[in-house]
Amino acid sequence: MNTRDMVLGGASAARIFSASVGPRPVLDAPRESGADLAELSRQFSAHHGEVKGLLERTGARLGEFDTQLQAHGDRLDGFEKRLNRPGSVDMKAGDASAEHKALATFARRGDDAELKAMSVGSDPDGGFLVHPVLSSRMTKRLFDTTPMRQLARVETITQGDAFEEPLDLDDVGATWVGETESRPETSTPQVGILRIPLEEIYANPKVTQRLLDDSGFDIGGWLEGKISDRFGRTEGASFVTGDGVKKPRGFLSYGTSAQKDGSRPWSSLQTVPSGHATEITADGLKDLTWSLRAPYRQGAGWLMNTNTAARIDKLKDSSGAYIWRDSMIAGAPPMLLNYPVTFSEDMPDVVAGAVPIAFGNFKLGYIIVDRAGIKWLRDPFSAKPYVMFYAYKRVGGGLANSEAIKLLLVSAS
């Protein structure tokens, strides 16, 4: 049955014909005369013409509908061809075939198919088609570090296993003399030598070659960044607390004395009492600043950890004003008694007998020596199928001038 038969067949055709012919009593009227038959024939012809016109108009409308339906069918065929191209989603595989048919049915007739609901939470029901987005960035944990390289003097050498520098620790003799008095020999200044040996730090992580080949992330670059960061944190801690055995010697590992400059042995640091057996006092901090002689105070600053800073932040002077000043400039360090504060989590906490605060001119007091940066070796042969990322660095550090750094000792006196 074609489209025209579907529309004209059955009850629909009967309704059209009934509406066109008019009241049935006209046909059932008694045939009494020729005039009546002529009138009946005329009426029938008129109604027949109306029905014929209606059928012609209906046929034209159906022809337009067939044309539109064919156009929609051609479009759906085009969609199917594009979906069947290589790399496209396979709409004929598994349950997807039923979904494809349901889409075609809805486009042609507007009928809703009774299909199982699709969901991202179920892989077969659509989850396979939803892929996560991998960020080009990586969230990483931030570690505490000591910025001694920003404070200290840094020297770089390209040869040798140590750095040596003459020390001028003495003074020349001089005295007043009369015009004709004799002039005996005066004292000659003595010189010393500062020696900073280079120590070595290394890392040697490994990664499979397949991971390097297939990963969408730069694994090699990520590892190199991790190694550089770890080297920086490890050497930073050594610049503060290192014992000098196969590592740089930190300034806290040197001897201490309560004696002032010129009275205590060279390479020993002066300690100043905090004014309390277990706490820090404002007066103790002021005493510490004045223990640093004037030639060193220009460029001086504080070094302490966060816990110590939190205690000092609550201290007030005799007038009731806080001695801690947060900077009003973005990125600038806070100020304590008009000197900048640098944080180092490698400094000790405030306990009896500890030295939690250092104050001084670290550029003059401590020296860091580098031997031409980090050396890298990518080794794919030694441990196949792993690739070794071998890195090493040679660095040294030590106290250059013991008069330039002072320590606060948690002690009553």
pLDDT digits (tens, 9 = 90+) for 55-82: 888 888 888 888 888 887 888 777 676 6
Domains of the chain: 3-127 (no CATH), 148-172+189-409 (3.30.2400.10)
Q: Residue 110 — very low, low, confident or very high, per pLDDT cuts 50/70/90?
A: low
d(CA 93, CA 87): 14
- The answer to whether the CB of 209 falls within 8 A of the CB of 378 is no
- The answer to whether the CB of 399 falls within 8 A of the CB of 267 is yes
Least-confidence region, from 55-59, 192-196, 390-394: 55-59
pLDDT value at residue 11 = 43
pLDDT value at residue 311 = 96
Q: Is the peptide bond before 23 cis (omega within 30 degrees of 0)?
A: no
Q: pLDDT of 253-299, one tens digit each?
A: 999 999 999 899 999 999 999 999 999 999 999 999 999 999 999 99
- The answer to whether the CB of 155 falls within 8 A of the CB of 368 is yes
- Percent of the chain past pLDDT 90, that is, above it, reads 51
Strand runs labelled E in 6-149:
none
pLDDT value at residue 105 = 60
Read off the pLDDT of each residue in 131-160 and give the average, rounded to a whole number: 79
Q: Would you state the structure tokens that stand for residue 407, as one six-digit string?
A: 């320590």
- The answer to whether the CB of 200 falls within 8 A of the CB of 394 is yes
pLDDT value at residue 127 = 59
Q: What is the mean pLDDT of the chain?
A: 82
Least-confidence region, from 86-90, 181-185, 197-201: 86-90
- Percent of the chain past pLDDT 70, that is, above it, reads 76
Answer yes or no: is pLDDT of 7 > 90. no
Answer yes or no: is pLDDT of 119 > 70. no
Answer yes or no: is pLDDT of 89 > 90. no
pLDDT value at residue 397 = 97
Phi/psi of residue 387, nearest 5 degrees: -110, 125
pLDDT value at residue 372 = 82
CA angle 176, 181, 184 (to 5 degrees): 75
* Cα Dmax for the chain: 181
Answer yes or no: is pLDDT of 23 > 50. no
Answer yes or no: is pLDDT of 9 > 70. no
Q: Which residues pair with 167 in a beta bridge?
A: 192
Read off the pLDDT of each residue in 219-226 and give the average, rounded to a whole number: 87
Read off the pLDDT of each residue in 169-181 and give the average, rounded to a whole number: 88
Q: How far is CA 184 from CA 170, 179, 187, 367, in A?
A: 19, 14, 10, 40
Q: pLDDT of 302-345, one tens digit each?
A: 999 999 999 999 999 888 899 999 988 888 999 999 999 999 99
Q: Which positions ≥6 away from 55 have C-beta within 8 Å? A: 8, 16
d(CA 92, CA 83): 9
Q: SS3 for 121-138, per residue? A: CCCCCEHHHCCCCCCCCC
Q: Would you state the structure tokens that stand for residue 278, as one six-digit string?
A: 């277990």
Answer yes or no: is pLDDT of 22 > 50. no
Q: How far is CA 412 from CA 158, 168, 252, 278, 352, in A?
A: 48, 35, 21, 8, 9
pLDDT value at residue 242 = 96
Q: What is the CA radius of gyration of the chain?
A: 48
d(CA 375, CA 122): 50
Q: Is the peptide bond before 166 cis (omega within 30 degrees of 0)?
A: no
